[in-house]
Amino acid sequence: MKRVLVADGLQAVGVDALRKHGLDVEVSGSLGEPELVERIGEYEGLIVRSATKVTRPVIEAGRRLEVIGRAGAGVDTIDVDSATKRGVVVMNTPGGNTTAVAEHTLGLLLALARRLPAADVTLKAGRWEKNRLQGVELLGKILGIVGLGRIGSEVARRALGFRMHVIAYDPYLTREAAERLGVESVEFDELLARADFVTIHTPLTGDTRHLLGAAELERLKPGVRIINCARGGLIDEQALARAIQSGKVAGAALDVFEQEPPPADHPLLKLEQVIVTPHLGAATDEAQTAVALAIADQVADALLRGVVVNAVNLPSIDAETHREQAPYVGLAEKMGRFLAQMGEGRMQEARLTYAGEIVGRPTATLTLAFVRGLLGTILSEHVTDVNAMLIAKARGLRVAETSTSESSDYASLVTAEVRTDRGATSVAGAVFFKREPRFVQVDGFSLEAVPQGWMLVFANLDVPGVIGRIGTLCGRHGINIAGMQLGRERRGGRAVSVLNLDDPMPPAALDEIRAMPDIVLAKVVKL
């Protein structure tokens, strides 16, 4: 039974769901690095929220770790690069808290415009400061949204309901897509110059850290108000404090900080123009239930069924696509394992060609399965779909894909070729009726071989007696032949045969075959 460690107080419905899936679950509170390093080695899965930091030492200590699940969207508390190198899947639940964060953003937007927190504090302190606390209306104001993804789009829809004019900057969104939402797409500098309110909804990366720094704050429209419910670090907090103190920025509403909780002497906490909440964007009953159930199902699917959804370091497919692709994924992995054992010399390039109906489906998972099979067969290190491409790159192996909608003999055909410094070897495969994979070509010779178990592959000159001598040898060594496929170029030319064996062939028997007249090569492959 696979084990999962749950930290940071995942809701009980999520824990119950994990157990119903048949996983052994242990629940703890937030863990520091030393505690997590000490405990993680016994678990295949780890689920965290935002408090527990999953660092490189933690990942290296997780010798059995397969999946890290984040019950939420941001993964900046997880060392994704280290996880990828170790072949560990990192997944999140990007959609579960969309409504909660969008509503919190609008709540802060309204509170900032009407100065609600200051009004509440002063009135409770016995002061009636109606004239001093005059606000502004949202009607007709320009809201600038940085990042028009799931949350940014929901904020835009709600802001349009307040009859604001919404402009947005998102380098990954087409102008047409923004316009369909009723949003004007602009460049970043134009957004800074025009917006009365700015709200940020981007991930925190090396490129987006201090997205609003001193220079950007200086280019903002005077009197602008800023909201951040995304990630601390997107705004230079010291520069923002100075911009508010100078009057350039009229106010800010922040749900997130670079350091959480922020230090007591943080300059932004001392400004009445700043509204703060303690990272409450996703803190609704509905959102926490949704993300708990979502991450439980995702982790269980990954650990028990090999279905990966919402991974940040691996192409994801849904369960239905996984079911359809499963025979091809298995075929691709076996093709990689086959070529790893057939080839000789240092591998330089692997080339996959997809033909026919399969071109209309996702093929990235098939390529990963092939590379995993290829490298996992010859390397001692742990190779998974997550780190297969990194390992290939580190070893100088080029991986290329081509595709064509035409396939003459099969509805879908996958062809793989591995080139080494001593030549090239290829195999092609298809999935037959009842979802059964077959090798249909070896080095260009047509045949129909079952890719399983022990396989004797040999090439020979097509002359009488070769097959009989090999059959006799197998009988003499007590090796039963379970199946045989033969392909040849022409009579008297060259031929390739694949024999499925019930038992492994002793090295001495293989040497006898290689010494036979008319044998060009002979290999034993284990799939």
Which of residues 375, 401, 433 is at a domain's end? 433
| Structural domain boundaries enclosing 89 | 3-93+286-305
The set of long-range contacts for 14-17, using a CB threshold of 8 Å and a minimum separation of 24, is 14/47, 14/71, 14/291, 14/292, 14/293, 14/295, 14/296, 15/292, 15/296, 17/292, 17/293, 17/296, 17/297, 17/300
List the structure tokens of 395: 């070893």
Same domain assignment for residues 462 and 405: no
| Active-site residue (options: 279, 372, 419, 488) | 279
Concatenate the DSSP letters of all residues of 210-224 into one string.
TSB-HHHHHHSPTTE
CA distance 247 to 251: 9
CA distance 296 to 300: 6
Same domain assignment for residues 121 and 237: yes
Give the CATH number of the domain where residue 342 resides. Answer: 3.30.1330.90
Same domain assignment for residues 522 and 415: no
Same domain assignment for residues 88 and 103: no
pLDDT of residue 86: 93
Nearest to 268 by CA among 205, 100, 260, 130: 260
Which of residues 374, 399, 433 is at a domain's end? 433
Predicted confidence pLDDT, tens digits, the chain (527 residues): 999 999 988 899 999 999 999 999 999 988 999 999 999 999 999 999 888 999 999 999 999 999 999 998 888 899 999 999 999 999 999 888 899 999 999 999 999 999 999 999 999 999 999 999 999 999 999 999 999 988 999 999 999 999 999 999 998 888 888 889 999 999 999 999 999 999 999 988 888 999 999 999 999 999 999 999 999 999 999 999 999 999 999 999 999 999 999 999 999 999 999 999 999 998 999 999 999 999 999 999 999 988 888 898 987 776 677 778 889 999 999 999 999 999 999 999 999 999 999 998 889 999 999 999 999 999 987 898 899 999 999 889 999 999 998 877 899 999 999 999 999 999 999 999 778 999 999 999 999 999 999 999 999 999 999 999 999 999 999 999 999 999 998 888 899 999 999 999 999 999 999 999 999 999 999 99
CA 90 and chain centroid, separation: 7
Same domain assignment for residues 81 and 102: no
Q: Residue 499: which H helix or E strand, with range?
A: strand 494-501
Asked if 382 is an active-site residue, the reply is no
In total, how many domains does the chain have? 4
Alpha helices in 316-363 (DSSP H): 319-342
List the structure tokens of 499: 């024999």
Asked if 21 is an active-site residue, the reply is no
Residue with tokens 């009980």: 12
Residue 525 belongs to some domain of the structure: yes
Concatenate the DSSP letters of all residues of 82-107 into one string.
HHHHHT-EEE--TTTTHHHHHHHHHH
| The amino acid at 106 | L
| Active-site residue (options: 21, 231, 266, 337) | 231
Residue 222 has a CB neighbour count (10 Å cut-off) of: 8
Phi, psi of 436 (to 5 degrees): -100, 120
Residue 54 belongs to some domain of the structure: yes
Same domain assignment for residues 293 and 366: no
Residue 160 belongs to some domain of the structure: yes
Residue 444 belongs to some domain of the structure: no
Residues 6+ apart with CB under 8 A from 448: 438, 439, 440, 485
pLDDT of residue 174: 81
Asked if 417 is an active-site residue, the reply is no
Same domain assignment for residues 87 and 104: no
Say how many CA atoms lie within 13 Å of 322 toward its Cβ.
Answer: 12
Nearest to 106 by CA among 76, 140, 143, 78: 143
pLDDT of residue 297: 95
List the structure tokens of 108: 């802060």
| Active-site residue (options: 137, 260, 272, 357) | 260
Same domain assignment for residues 457 and 414: no
Residue 281 belongs to some domain of the structure: no
Residue 440 belongs to some domain of the structure: no
> Can you tell me whether residue 416 is helix, strand or coil?
strand
pLDDT of residue 324: 83
pLDDT of residue 99: 94
pLDDT of residue 407: 73
pLDDT of residue 91: 95
CA distance 125 to 132: 15
Residue 110 belongs to some domain of the structure: yes
pLDDT of residue 366: 94
Residue 447 belongs to some domain of the structure: no
pLDDT of residue 512: 95
Q: Answer left, alpha or beta for residue 187, where phi above 0 means left and psi between -120 and 50 means alpha.
A: beta
pLDDT of residue 204: 86
Give the CATH number of the domain where residue 510 resides. Answer: 3.30.70.260
Same domain assignment for residues 267 and 335: no
Residues 6+ apart with CB under 8 A from 496: 442, 443, 445, 447, 457, 458, 459, 486, 487, 488
Same domain assignment for residues 232 and 114: yes
Same domain assignment for residues 508 and 522: yes
pLDDT of residue 321: 78
Same domain assignment for residues 238 and 257: yes
Which of residues 366, 401, 433 is at a domain's end? 433
Give the CATH number of the domain where residue 194 resides. Answer: 3.40.50.720
